[in-house]
Structure 1
């Protein structure tokens, strides 16, 4: 007993989450996407050499 109120609240919250559609600021989204494209590309990040992974392989196998 006593579960009726809890279940009703859960149902109400689930329904609110399912059908709630917040107002979307499309101009803000456009600014964010435009700013992202003008930022430096991800290709400029430093790359790891295969040697970096060799040390891990030795450590993991116990050869250290």
Structure 2
């Protein structure tokens, strides 16, 4: 006997979810995702100063090998 009540509840929830359409603030979402809207498409590497470039390391290794 409890199955009918359970099915009715699931049907009610499914209808509510089907008709649910939240409002979305696309401007806030764009800011959060970090897409620059007015600044253009400039790429800034925030980790550039943390690590040496691979090319520079290879050149230093080659220079050290020539000395030895």
TM-score by length of 2: 0.45
TM-score by length of 1: 0.47
